[in-house]
Amino acid sequence: MAYDDKPTIESIRQMTRYLQDLWSRTHIKWQEVDSYYQQKFKIWPDGMNRPEWLKPARSRSIVDHAVDHQLSIGGPAPRPRQASAGLIRSSLP
């Protein structure tokens, strides 16, 4: 399908399938990693009489600390100046 063609239902389905296949392994990995951050992972083996609510928060604190540190030194994202934004708009059809 060319860039200027109007999308059809079938082309949207094909692109959806393609993207789902492309990202499926990543989504599986995210589910595993998110279980640690959300503290929903299984910590005790089956058959042990241990409380399920007792989960260490270290994984979450490491991620939160790294994000806080990155945001403190990153600053806001640069925005285009108004003059260059006007040039972009004028070049659009």
Per residue in 37-90, pLDDT (tens digit) is: 888 877 777 777 777 777 778 878 888 898 888 878 876 767 766 555 555 555
Domain ranges of the chain: 9-65
Cut 0.85: pTM above it? no
pLDDT at 8: 92
Model confidence at 23: pLDDT above 60: yes
Rounded-to-integer distance, Cα 6 and Cα 88, Å: 23
* DSSP calls for 26-54: HHHHHHHHHHHHTT-S--S-TT----TT-
Helix (H, G, I), strand (E, B) or coil at 18: helix
